[in-house]
Amino acid sequence: MTFDLSTPEASSAAEWRGVDVRYPFAGRNAVGPLDLQLRPGERVLLLGASGSGKSTLLLTLTGLLPNSIPAEVGGEITIGGIDVGSREPAGWAPEVAQYFQDADQTLCGMRVEDEIAFALENRAMPEAEIAAVIGDAMREVRLPESWRQRRSSSLSGGERQLVALAATLVQDAGIFVADEPTAHLAPEAANRLHALLAKAPATQTMLIVDHRLDGLIETIDRMVVLGADGTIIADGVPRTIFRDKRAVLATLGIWRPAAAELDGELTRIGLAPPIAPLSIEEALAHLDPSHAPQSAIARAKPVVAAFVAACAAPADAAVTDAPVAAELLDAACAPFLGPVVLRNVDFRIREGETVGILGANGAGKSTLGLCLAGLLPVKSGKRQGATGGVAFQRSENQFVGGTVSDELRAALPPRIGDAEQARLVAETLEKWGLGGLGRQHPFELSQGQKRRLALATLTITDRWPLLVLDEPMAGLDAAGAAALTAQIAGLCRQGRAVAVITHDMDLALRLCPRSIVVGEGRILADGPTGELLRDADLLRRADLAEPSSAAARRWLDRVAAC
């Protein structure tokens, strides 16, 4: 049985009434108690710090939790006014399309076209219709035709996410639920996804969890913020919340769009935009150099300049004369037992240097990182330098301990005494925001917590002169990202070389004085990050996008030209 969630009779597309969730053996609720109603056609963004229960809340919607994942769920959950428990989770698939945080939770390991067809087959859609829908979905998400016969598990993390998106979009359900849909996507692909969400039918209700707000937030009608205890601390229009609750969001370590920071600075000097801005363009629209009062522009200029400077790595952070930590010379890089994906790679990283490795999904960034660290031998050419420590994209792969504390202890040299070990472990847990989780199994942590643990194990000692961090910020909240950024800067000051593989152009600009851009089977460019991210042709070739502060820099250029 299906029903139309957009009809006036359906007063709510979905509703949680007095809902709380507690996992087995957990000492407190993962979520709630909370009340939340999604109105038909509403686009809701769910924000919260890492571990605040956002993913848990989404899993309760169709009853996957507690039906498939054990937990105690209290309260009442309805879809279109019908109790969720009245059907099996699979029975809600026609009404709810779910896009999970981990693409492996959305995909089943089939060939790409079979993955996309799966939900439609389950709905008994005629075969000819399915074929047409698959073609449309692949075109819409811009999946190459050559992927049709490829197994989804043979794709890179970002590529899998695109397939998962196509597989979810074809469901054309009344409610679309997405948990961090852009976490592993390159900027151009993330923009594509945001565009797809923006042009979705007005009748479709959306509930989205995402940390990457720039480009998405403009399409959102309403924002719900979860506090650290899993209860709702703010519910309203994004513009209002980002301006009125700026301090609260910052304190809780919740992501805000870049414009919210600039809005705060402009408000401080009495030049607040007339409406709370969601983009840098909106924040500076009332200060257009061609018609705004010169006095206002003069007051705003140092503030905007300081904002732009804060978004970029300090100019003096560039390292040019330190000893080389590791280098690849005319190297050919290939994944283990796979074909060469990058050729003629000449790349060196110096002690104390932070270098960004940027590129589209599937460009070979992770393979390059493993070769640089010395974990993958180069197929031809040469690698020199110290072996590096790698923070893998899937943090779970590097966990071997039974508890979080064991994991950290295993990373310490055995000669350290028990008391010193305990002190270092406790100190590291606090430093990485993992206090109180020492006795939990690493696999029980949230995605952000897992990532912090992986990084904590790499930095608890000074064993690694070179660190390769593969998407280090994926799954982290703003506080975690800020802490990690400070940690990385500290590591570099200690003389360690850090290579950061990232899709986040803002992060690359802020953290890496120098970057390389990977694409077309080679290194396309190597230079100061700011310059690379201003090269429109390069960004287009590499499927990248400019950082969010670019509009502010352009404003400064216009002011200077006037």
Partner 1 sequence: MAGPGRRVLNALNPLSKLAVCAIWLAASVLIFDAWFQIAAILLVWLVLIVFQRTSPLVLLALMVPFCLFGLGFLTTSVLFRQESDFAVQVASETPFGSRAFSAGVNLFLRAIACGMISTFFALTTDPGAFVRALMAYAKLPPRIGYSLFAVMQLVPDLAAEAQQMRFARAMKSGRAPRRIPGPFEAVSLVIPLLAFGIRRAGRTAIAMEARGLATGTPRTLTNVPKFSVRDAAFVAIALAILGSLTVATGR
The site for partner 1 (CB under 8 A) is made up of 62, 64, 68-69, 88-91, 93-94, 98, 100, 102, 104-111, 113-114, 117-127, 130-131, 151, 153-154, 167, 171, 336, 370, 373-377, 387-390, 392, 394, 397-398, 400, 410-411, 443
Smallest gap from residue 62 Cβ to partner 1 (A): 7
Beta carbons of 119 and 170 less than 8 angstroms apart: yes
Smallest gap from residue 111 Cβ to partner 1 (A): 6
Nearer to partner 1 by Cβ, of 70 and 274: the residue is: 70
Nearer to partner 1 by Cβ, of 145 and 430: the residue is: 145
Nearer to partner 1 by Cβ, of 78 and 171: the residue is: 171
Nearer to partner 1 by Cβ, of 126 and 270: the residue is: 126
Smallest gap from residue 277 Cβ to partner 1 (A): 37
CA separation (Å) from 360 to 29, 188, 503, 524, 545? Answer: 39, 8, 8, 12, 10
Nearer to partner 1 by Cβ, of 430 and 462: the residue is: 462
Please give the structure tokens belonging to residue 345.
């790679």
Nearer to partner 1 by Cβ, of 261 and 407: the residue is: 407
- SS3 of 165-213: HHHHHCCCCCEEEEECCCCCCCHHHHHHHHHHHHCCCCCCEEEEECCCC
Smallest gap from residue 17 Cβ to partner 1 (A): 23
Closest CA to 29 of 75, 63, 79, 78: 75
CB-hemisphere CA count at 13 Å for 301? 15
Pairing of strands 466-470, 82-83: unpaired
- Edge-to-edge strand list for the sheet holding 82-83: 31-38, 14-22, 72-79, 82-83
Nearer to partner 1 by Cβ, of 127 and 531: the residue is: 127
Smallest gap from residue 100 Cβ to partner 1 (A): 8
Separation CA 175–CA 159 (nearest Å): 24
Separation CA 289–CA 296 (nearest Å): 10
φ, ψ (nearest 5 deg) of residue 561: -75, -20
Smallest gap from residue 521 Cβ to partner 1 (A): 19
Pairing of strands 205-209, 175-179: parallel
DSSP state of 285: G
Smallest gap from residue 426 Cβ to partner 1 (A): 22
Please give the structure tokens belonging to residue 44.
């809701």
Nearer to partner 1 by Cβ, of 68 and 240: the residue is: 68
Smallest gap from residue 172 Cβ to partner 1 (A): 12
